Amino acid sequence: MTPTNFTESKLDQFFDILSINKDQTNHNLIFVSTMEARKYPIYGVQWHPEKNQFEYVLNAKHENTPHHYNAIIISQYMANFFVNESRKNNNRFPDIEKESQALIYNYNPQYTGRKSSSSFEQIYVFSSANSNL
């Protein structure tokens, strides 16, 4: 979403823009990459804060994931920030069994690192038939 579309759709009444970026595949189109709700702990990101630490795919389309010191530090900062924000929520599973059924560890990631069509090393594929959510 461009900053102009952000304002025209009145999202600026609920969110503040924290960052913008240029889309490298669309003639440097400027887009909103991070936003924060003004009154609530709601955030939106159009980037992957975790990717710098955990993704090492090198292919023609996605070879620019930085792994230098500052890239890792910001990735760790964002992880800590989002986890601390989620701790503010007092909702809980009704019991340990329901919680256990919802864990990501119940699913097997698929390795995609050598496929040129993917920008991720691993993905999870969920179908409605095996979803516990």
Q: What is the pLDDT of residue 77?
A: 95
Kindly report the pTM of this predicted structure: 0.72
Residue 120 within any structural domain of the chain: no
Q: What is the pLDDT of residue 92?
A: 93
Give me the number of domains the chain comprises: 1
Residue 30 within any structural domain of the chain: yes
Q: What is the pLDDT of residue 63?
A: 60
Residue 26 within any structural domain of the chain: yes
Q: What is the 3-state secondary structure (H, E, C) of the chain?
A: CCHHHHHHCCHHHCEEEEEEEEECCCCCEEEEEEEEECCCCCEEECCCCCHHHHCCCCCCCCCCCCCCHHHHHHHHHHHHHHHHHHCCCCCCCCCHHHHHHHCHHHCCCEECCCCCCCCCCEECCCCCCCCCC
Residue 63 within any structural domain of the chain: no
Domain membership of residue 43 as a residue range: 1-47
pLDDT along the chain (133 residues), means of 10: 96 97 84 96 90 73 76 93 93 95 92 70 77 52
